Amino acid sequence: MDTKILIAIILIIVAITLAYSPFYKKYQLFYLNKVGYWDILIQFLVIAGINLFIGLKYSLGALFLLIVPVPLDIIFLISMIYSYLKIRKMKRK
């Protein structure tokens, strides 16, 4: 097995275990308490920045290249909705 593949597999395993650790859950709650609804704006700016970069790099004449970030946009939109619902639930308590 190539060393690059092995390192990638190890990093994926580390990222998954960290995502489910209690420390990360505490950090996530702390972050959402501090940032609040601004977290959604940050995610929107990432989407807009990626689309702007694709548009400027490949020119607006190549409109089919704007289809490339669509899966990433969907992931960020789902994340934004999840963050909004989670923050709204926290604010009610």
Chain segment 70-84, per-residue pLDDT in tens: 677 788 888 888 888
Number of Cβ atoms within 10 Å of the Cβ of 48: 11
What is the mean pLDDT of the segment spanning 18-45? 84
Helix/strand/coil (H/E/C) assignment for every residue in 60-76: CCCHHHHHCCHHHHHHH
- For residue 93, the Cα-to-chain-centroid distance in whole angstroms is 26
Residue 13's pLDDT band, with cuts at 50, 70 and 90, is very high
Q: Of 60 and 48, which is predicted with more confidence?
A: 48
User: What are the Cα distances from residue 79, in Å, to 30, 50, 65, 67?
Assistant: 18, 16, 23, 19
What pLDDT, on a 0 to 100 scale, did the predictor assign at position 79? Answer: 83
Flag whether the pTM goes above 0.75.
no
pLDDT at 35 over 90: no
Is the four-CA dihedral 75, 9, 65, 45 of positive or negative sign?
positive
